[in-house]
């Protein structure tokens, strides 16, 4: 069986790095501005993993069970999200909404995955859930597109087809940013912006899918004759630099520089795929963060805001203490969620497997 279809602890380590980047940008009040690249890393990794899962099923059975796929996504995503929404309802019952915040809109847009279509001013403490909306939209159409068209094409045409779509999305993303710089694209409570709108952000997810298909065609591709730890350092060093210094509104990044950061994320993921037992990515700390990354991401921003009243303006010591408390509380809550909610529910996924006749061809 090809290595792209096997469990890879290094990829869990990358999830850990991605969620740590997100924690850094929010815990630092945006001072570590490039932490948003953690979301880009999540996107590319998600595209890779979902496509590999679909490709494995299609290769084994000649079809994809859409029902099983969506049920398993439901089991993975909804329970922590529902807990987050309940926490928000408790939170907002004590805190008066500010500005345009609408609790009803926040709940419905979060629960039904259209946060990224709503203007940020209406979203309050759950604004960060926009990325879940992007991924969920991708999950809705990608399996159908894969099984109905792409997987039926020769591998070369599959990759050309996806590359073509990525190119279109890239151009559209730049156009949306340029258009918004002239006149914001607001339509009542809704908006289209190049950072959150689905069709502007699935370029990274599709890039991960492209890599999964490419590796399934030639598992020996992307092999580099370099010492593994050195190779990882050479990839993570520019990521670390960008996390520390890149601003989300940087014009170079907005007008196409995101192609470079997406490719950097892809290169890191390909390294992890080729080195599934890398000692750095597979260390216990990163694995812990990675296995709980979804819960950490979903809960942390609301917890951070709930603890904001503890802040004393101008006090460095207070900032350190409150930041530490925020991070510890987020990690603790994610751990409780992982053990009590996520792990027990995820065991149900085994009940939803393709019941078709297994093909004799080996992966």
| Mean pLDDT over each residue of the chain, to the nearest integer | 91
For the beta carbon of residue 187, count every other beta carbon within 10 angstroms: 10
- CB-CB contact of 144 with 66 (8 Å): yes
Sorted by where each begins, the domain ranges of the chain are: 3-351
**SS3 at position 190:** strand
Give tens-digit pLDDT for 305-362. 999 999 998 899 999 999 999 999 999 999 999 999 999 998 888 888 776 666 644 4
The pLDDT of residue 314 is 87
In 3D space, the residue among 113, 112, 93 whose CA is nearest the CA of residue 103 turns out to be 93
Give tens-digit pLDDT for 253-294. 999 999 999 999 999 999 999 888 888 999 999 999 999 999
Scanning the structure block, which residue is given the tokens 């997987």? 151
Give tens-digit pLDDT for 32-51. 999 999 999 999 999 999 99
């Amino acid at each position: 069986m090809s290595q792209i279809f096997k469990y890879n602890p290094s990829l869990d380590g990358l999830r850990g790095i991605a969620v740590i980047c997100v924690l850094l940008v929010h815990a630092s009040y945006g001072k570590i501005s490039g932490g948003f690249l953690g979301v880009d890393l999540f996107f590319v990794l998600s595209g890779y993993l979902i496509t590999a899962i679909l490709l494995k099923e299609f290769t084994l059975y000649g079809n994809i069970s859409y029902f099983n796929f969506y049920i398993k996504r439901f089991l993975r995503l909804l329970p922590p999200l529902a807990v987050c929404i309940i926490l928000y309802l408790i939170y907002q019952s004590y805190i008066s909404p500010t500005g345009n915040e609408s609790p009803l809109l926040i709940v419905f847009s979060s629960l039904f995955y259209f946060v990224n279509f709503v203007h940020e001013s209406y979203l309050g403490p759950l604004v960060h859930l926009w990325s879940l909306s992007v991924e969920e939209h991708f999950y809705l159409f990608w399996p159908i597109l894969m099984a109905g068209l792409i997987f039926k094409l020769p591998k070369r045409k599959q990759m050309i087809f996806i590359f073509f779509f990525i190119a279109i999305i890239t151009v559209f993303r730049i156009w949306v940013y340029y258009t918004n710089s002239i006149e914001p694209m607001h339509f009542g409570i809704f908006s289209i912006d190049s950072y959150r709108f689905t069709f502007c952000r699935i370029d990274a997810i599709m890039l991960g899918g492209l890599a999964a298909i490419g590796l399934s065609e030639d598992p020996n591709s992307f092999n580099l004759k370099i010492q593994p730890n050195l190779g990882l350092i050479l990839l993570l060093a520019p990521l670390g630099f960008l996390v520390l210094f890149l601003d989300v509104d940087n014009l170079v990044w907005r007008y196409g520089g995101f192609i470079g950061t997406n490719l950097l994320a892809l290169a890191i993921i390909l390294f992890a795929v080729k080195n599934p037992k890398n000692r750095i990515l597979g260390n216990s700390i990163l694995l812990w963060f990675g296995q709980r990354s979804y819960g950490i991401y979903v809960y942390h921003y609301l917890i951070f805001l709930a603890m904001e009243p503890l802040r004393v303006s101008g006090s460095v010591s207070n900032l350190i203490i409150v930041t530490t408390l925020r991070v510890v509380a987020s990690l603790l809550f994610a751990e409780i969620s992982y053990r009590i909610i996520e792990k027990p529910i995820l065991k149900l996924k085994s009940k939803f497997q393709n019941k078709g006749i297994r093909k004799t061809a080996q992966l």
